[in-house]
A and B are shown apart, each in its own frame.
Chain A
Amino acid sequence: MKAAVIVFPGSNCDRDCKIAVERSTGAQVDMVWHGDSRLPEGLDLIVLPGGFSYGDYLRCGAMAALSPVMTEVKAAAERGVATVGICNGFQVLCEAGLLPGALLQNERLKYVCKPVSLEVTNAQTRFTSGYGGRREVVMTVGNGEGNYFADEATLDRLEGEGQVVFRYQNNPNGSARAIAGIVNAKGNVLGMMPHPDRAFEAELGSADGALLFQSALASA
């Protein structure tokens, strides 16, 4: 099993992601610099970590989405490689056009940092199959711009196609239809604001994130 964490200037959860994936799955995890124009061969999982890539300048994730390495990430995602964007990584995936919609400033202008209960809205995805019959998981959010937005037609499509993967039990940031995480139509690209990388061991308050990484790599 092989995974890569993409490191942008300003990423700050990159090492957390590496440790989270290593400890929960035993996979070998390479760190890939944003300026690289190649990804390691034979990747089973790509993680875009949280943080403040490019200082969140212009728009969160906007410049990271145009980094040289993103051409390769797009190509890998199109080939079907499991790709997870967490927090800033979710913003990057939206800016890169790999996922629909965008993340706006939180409704009440507050940075929200706390554990949240999430409904597993679709337990059939390759990222959530490990949750089995569980309908509720706990992970931490830490975001100022985590307010998911898409037009009504897109939201209807996402719901209709089972692309809404996680929903907040108590919406912390004003996200449309309480959406916390979505997958692309093909089901191999996941974007989510809550951090599975901050919930991979019981000592962290929740180990629910470990199951997500295990599910993503289950078929590898």
Chain B
Amino acid sequence: MKAKVHVFLKPGVLDVQGKAVEQALHGLGWSGVEGVRVGKTIEFDLQSADRAEAEAEVKAMCDKLLANTVIESYRVELA
């Protein structure tokens, strides 16, 4: 199974990288751009036959290591 984990700073937590990218886009003329957030994607193969089990496992990985839930939220995709 392929797992993809998307990690972003929570809404309300200042994303300075997002702000810098937003300003750069404005500088290039895309003045309609708003609310840019820069996150990361972590992908990996996971040996698991059961989808629900895999999801629970990836969530545990997120809570333990892949995301810091004090400042970040995450979304898991399995395929």
Instruction: Name A residues whose Cβ lies closer than 8 Å to a Cβ of B.
Output: 58-59, 62-63, 66, 94-95, 100-102, 104-109, 147, 149-150, 174
Contacts and interface: CB of A to CB of B under 8 A. Distances in A.
A100 B16 CA distance: 21
- The 8 closest A-B CB pairs, nearest first, are A102-B71, A102-B70, A105-B16, A109-B16, A59-B68, A102-B68, A109-B20, A149-B71
Given A107-B14, A150-B70, A174-B14, 8 more contacts: A58-B66, A59-B68, A102-B68, A102-B70, A102-B71, A109-B16, A149-B70, A149-B71
B17 interface: yes
Given A102-B70, A150-B70, A63 B65 contact: yes
B42 to A, nearest CB: 8
Interface of B: 9, 13-14, 16-17, 20, 64-66, 68, 70-71
The A contact surface, by secondary structure, is loop
A112 B16 CA distance: 15
A31 B61 CA distance: 30
28 contacts: A58-B66, A59-B68, A62-B65, A62-B68, A63-B65, A66-B64, A66-B65, A94-B70, A100-B70, A101-B70, A102-B68, A102-B70, A104-B9, A104-B16, A104-B71, A105-B16, A105-B17, A107-B16, A108-B16, A109-B16, A109-B17, A109-B20, A149-B13, A149-B14, A149-B70, A149-B71, A150-B70, A174-B14
Contacts of A95: 68
B65 to A, nearest CB: 6
Interface centre among B13, B16, B66 (most CB of A within 10 A): B16
Contacts of A63: 65
A35 to B, nearest CB: 17
Contact of A104 (B13, B20, B64, B66): B13
B70 A104 contact: no
Contacts of A94: 70
